[in-house]
């Protein structure tokens, strides 16, 4: 119960890529979950709540630097901390 008070607030936009300006290491010390249209997604690389989109890998395709190609999926986005 004390752990919930130590969690930083979830931002409007967050990325798992350390090179991104939207990356925040303090948030990833906790287990973060994302819901899109009331369904939990586990493959999200970046999200934006105010604009209503998430970025997910587009299959197995890679760009020339070896990173997965991303596609944007739009809908109602909710970010939350998982319990446990």
Residue 47, beta-bridge partner list:
14, 54
Helix, strand, coil content of the chain in percent (nearest 5): 10, 45, 50
**Dihedral, CA atoms, 67, 69, 75, 81, nearest 10 degrees?**
-20
> What's the whole-number mean pLDDT along residues 64-82?
95
Average pLDDT of the chain, as a whole number: 92
pTM of the predicted protein model:
0.85
Looking at the chain, the whole-number percentage of residues with pLDDT higher than 90 is 88
């Amino acid at each position: 119960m004390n752990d919930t008070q130590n969690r930083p607030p979830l931002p409007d936009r967050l990325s798992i890529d350390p090179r991104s300006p939207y990356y925040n290491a303090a948030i990833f010390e906790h287990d973060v979950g994302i819901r899109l249209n009331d369904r939990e997604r586990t493959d999200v690389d970046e999200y934006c709540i105010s604009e209503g989109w998430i970025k997910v890998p587009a299959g197995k395709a890679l760009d020339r630097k070896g990173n997965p190609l991303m596609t944007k999926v739009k809908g109602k986005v909710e970010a939350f901390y998982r319990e446990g």
